[in-house]
Amino acid sequence: MQLSSKKRIVIKIGSALLVDREAGLKEEWLNSLCDDIAKLVENGAQVLLVSSGAIALGRNVLNLPNRALKLDESQAAAAVGQIELGRAWAQALSNQSLVAGQILLTLNDTEGGAGRRTYLNARDTIERLLDLNAIPVVNENDSIATSEIRYGDNDRLAARVATMMNADLLILLSDIDGLYTAPPNGNPDAKLVSVVDDITPEIEAMAGSAGSELSRGGMVTKVEAAKIATRAGTDMVITSGTPNHPIAALQAGEPATLFKALPTSGSARKKWISGQLQTEGEVVLDDGAANALQKGKSLLPAGVVSVSGSFSRGDVVTLKSKSGAILGQGLVGYDMSEADLIKGAKSSDLENLLGYAGRPALIHRDDMALNPSHN
């Protein structure tokens, strides 16, 4: 599979790949994966990791009994294991001269809605980590999660992270190499499905029922993750993470299932943006910029006449024309004070004004929902 066109890639790593029940952390494998990650980065991709393994590592350290853990035991194991997990990633990435940044989320933080502020904070922090060339390493904040920690939850978490960060591709490294037409164990007719264009009821049926989840590599939650990702415009791949250098193996043509992003998916994000009732400020555009927006362009600082309100990067703001017509809403790329500083400025002057190389758009076209009459 070709990954060179993918600029932002989320890789989800399951516990079983990273941790051996007896021997603990699989260091050689981890180092081989980080070598692959370094190559992706060298080729210009931004890489984010969603890593499980906290509970698996913690239960080894604490010598917990070999049975299903109670919730509070899992949470204690996660508290111990997360430190180990963070250390392992920091070490393995630093062997490649890469820097790890740990982010612990709860699923709510990634939903928008009630958790919008933490959503924005999470998004901004991850975005800034990427700007700083660090590799975000995300896990669920298991030790204080209020609900049961469910096998496979990190599949969903990874899909949320991928859509929150507008990733091009989500790779689920798993102990199975993809989706099969029937349970592959003891079923000689079972075939790997290499491309899924649309998640139909037939595809869902192939993933099996929740009851068989564990024995089928958690395929149900993987297909759920695929729904989240593809609807928001992110391709998703399931492939086996078992061999060393699993990403290089995928690129070299190892079996995988690709769930293709839906073509209409951009609109889901735009719906979310236009659905935000409360905006944190206003941005007034000159006529040239208002026209450019209608042609599908991003909003550059040069086209901004004035800004008002109190907003941080990632907040939703209202877009207005000079005559006061409401043009739409967008997620603003700069804090209020910075936006005020660079309004009307040419792109080439941004670095001087800001003191750092800012991003060209004040509001990226993907982060903008224009009102119907202006679309």
Provide the token pair at 353: 């004004």
Q: Per rule CB under 6 A, is residue 154 in the interface with ligand GLU?
A: yes
- Whichever of 89 and 334 has its CB closer to ligand GLU, that residue is 89
- Angle (CA) 43 230 274, round 5°: 105
The Cβ of residue 202 has, within 10 Å, a number of other Cβ atoms equal to: 10
Q: Per rule CB under 6 A, is residue 55 in the interface with ligand GLU?
A: yes
Q: Per rule CB under 6 A, is residue 274 in the interface with ligand GLU?
A: no
3-class SS of residue 197: coil
Nearest Cα residue to 224 out of 117, 288, 152: 152
Q: Per rule CB under 6 A, is residue 84 in the interface with ligand GLU?
A: no
Among 36, 84, 127, 140, indicate the residue that binds ligand GLU (CB under 6 A): 140
Helices and strands per DSSP (H, E), number in the chain: 13, 15
Q: Per rule CB under 6 A, is residue 239 in the interface with ligand GLU?
A: no
- Whichever of 53 and 303 has its CB closer to ligand GLU, that residue is 53
Instruction: Give min distance, CB of 138 to ligand GLU, in A.
Output: 10
Among 152, 178, 184, 233, indicate the residue that binds ligand GLU (CB under 6 A): 152
Nearest Cα residue to 153 out of 142, 165, 164, 143: 142
3-class SS of residue 242: coil
Helix (H) or strand (E) holding 173: strand 169-174
Q: How many residues contact ligand GLU, by CB under 6 A?
A: 16
Interaction mask 25-54, ligand GLU, x per CB under 6 A: ---------------------------xxx
For 258, how many CA atoms within 13 A lie in the half-sphere containing its CB? 18
Q: Per rule CB under 6 A, is residue 15 in the interface with ligand GLU?
A: yes
Q: Per rule CB under 6 A, is residue 225 in the interface with ligand GLU?
A: no
> Which residues make up the interface to ligand GLU (CB under 6 A)?
14-15, 52-56, 78, 139-140, 142, 149, 151-154
